Structure 1
Amino acid sequence: MIKSHNQHTITYSRVIHLSHVIDVDIPQWPGDPPVEFATVAELSQDGYYLRRFSLGEHSSTHVNAPNSFHSYGVGIDQYSAESLVVPAIVIDIHEAAAIDPDYALTIDDILVWEEKYNQISPGSVVLLNTGWQDKWLDQDRFFNRDTQGTAHFPGFSSDATHFLLNERQIVGIGIDTHGVDPGQDTSFATNSLVLEQPRIVLENLTNLDQLSPTGTTLVIGILRLRDGSGSPAAVLALVP
């Protein structure tokens, strides 16, 4: 159990990694810099082992910042510590996504979920379990590009995103694909909508199938990169 200074209490029985291991062969968005590691100190020669690493701000499991889509937006370094510990709910669309890889979450999906689990509380992050984490080790399957190079993976529709922001006052969204926008949407409409304010956008999550629909608290660890457009993220789920 954790009790914070403002008297919010978090009770949990398990802690689950929602971040992928970062390695050189992870799926990368076209144009993103490669993941690179270089040894700079050897235990046998220097008495300690040390590497340097290089990767893009939106590589592997990561959080996007408003300035990645809006010139007026803040960088990732401006997120308060309190904003990175948030309640989460999980909507499971993996069966629909298995049939239609372009499936986008609808308002009806949200309302059906709420009939079972109650209305989404203000201040929540909505996580979308699409089942795409199982494709992570195969870049071709993960992006699922057609012969024209268009990616096909599921995401949040603009209508559903508007509904969640305006009618449910959520503070963020997350997904197990490389984008909260469906793969075909090159306008990044959902990212842009959510990041009109310093909210949470998490991409390339994993282990969402291990979470309950309600009750999870996320602890989102970021690199506080000055003016960063985002950051690789260590996301922990505190599960009741």
Structure 2
Amino acid sequence: MQNIQFDRIVDLSHLITPDLPVWPNDPPVIFTTQASLQEDGYYLRNFSMGEHSATHMNAPNSFYPDAMGIDGYKPEALVRPAVVVDVQAHTCSNPDYVISAQDIELWEQVNGVIAPGSVVLFHTGWQSRWLEPGRFINADAQGLHFPGVGAAATRFLLEHRAIAGIGIDTHGVDPGQETSFACNRLVLAQGGIILECLNNLDRLPPTGSTLVIGVLRLQAGSGSPASVLAFVR
């Protein structure tokens, strides 16, 4: 029997609204009233949005043909210990900061070695920009500008720490200027977890949290909006 011991629960998901930040050219979030209390006796809406909008989880088939969709993750794979690596000291002055293996090694000197099977969450401070979509996406003629996890750091975590996945508070685990999506590809090639647009990472300690990740079981989905709860002890 496995038990989750906790003192508090932190919701790591953003509220889904029509004006939330979306990836360039992704579909908008749309709510449409289908039934009203006044006319039908009950209230019902239809909603549409991209599979990779709001706080969300990516699936391997978003980068690999014939790979597993979001409906392929087993429930037990979505309950994971988590650690939080705070890199705000770098990202506050450099929106294109690439998180390195050295950042992880320095974190481990203080907090201990990351345990196998963990999801590593990177707190860049980008969550504070959520209500300003332009600043959150941070695009110009040269592309998108937000921090993310470099390929070398991703390989280090997968090969030497046997992690289960990576999460971040920006719109992508890969840096905005990275067009090969190396972090996504490396993690998803192993059927791992990728969480993007996380919230409230400042409310988590470096260690001692357990994530419970809820996804919509969309048939062959390339991803899904996610409800991510952190049980903190």
TM-score higher than 0.5 here? yes
The answer as to 2:82 corresponding to 1:82 is no
Find the aligned partners of 1:166 and 1:73 in 2 and give their Cα distance: 21
Find the aligned partners of 1:157 and 1:73 in 2 and give their Cα distance: 23
> 1:53, CA displacement in angstroms?
0.3
> 1:149, CA displacement in angstroms?
4.3
Q: Report the counterpart of residue 4 of structure 2 in structure 1.
A: 10
> 1:191, CA displacement in angstroms?
0.4
Aligned equivalent of 2:36, options 29, 35, 42: 42
**Structure 1 residue ranges (4+ consecutive) displaced by more than 4 angstroms after TM superposition:** none
Find the aligned partners of 1:216 and 1:173 in 2 and give their Cα distance: 14
> 1:65, CA displacement in angstroms?
0.1
The answer as to 2:144 corresponding to 1:124 is no
Q: How does 1:1-240 map to 2 (within 5 A)?
A: 7-146=1-140, 148-240=141-233
> 1:107, CA displacement in angstroms?
1.0
Find the aligned partners of 2:47 and 2:135 in 1 and give their Cα distance: 26
Give the TM-score taking structure 2 as reference length.
0.98
Find the aligned partners of 2:101 and 2:232 in 1 and give their Cα distance: 26
Q: Give the counterpart letter for 1:74 in structure 2.
A: M
Aligned residue pairs, count: 233
Q: Give the counterpart letter for 2:192 in structure 1.
A: R
Q: Give the counterpart letter for 2:219 in structure 1.
A: R
Deviations 1:129-183 (A, max 9, x none): 000001111112112223x141111010100000000000001000000000000
Find the aligned partners of 2:215 and 2:134 in 1 and give their Cα distance: 28
Q: Give the counterpart letter for 2:102 in structure 1.
A: D
Deviations 1:4-48 (A, max 9, x none): xxx122100111110000011111101211110011111122111
Q: Secondary structure at 2:190's aligned position in 1?
A: coil
Find the aligned partners of 1:72 and 1:126 in 2 and give their Cα distance: 27
The 1:139/1:149 distance shift into structure 2, 3 A limit, reads farther
> 1:72, CA displacement in angstroms?
3.5
The 1:236/1:212 distance shift into structure 2, 3 A limit, reads same
**RMSD across aligned C-alpha pairs, in angstroms?**
0.8
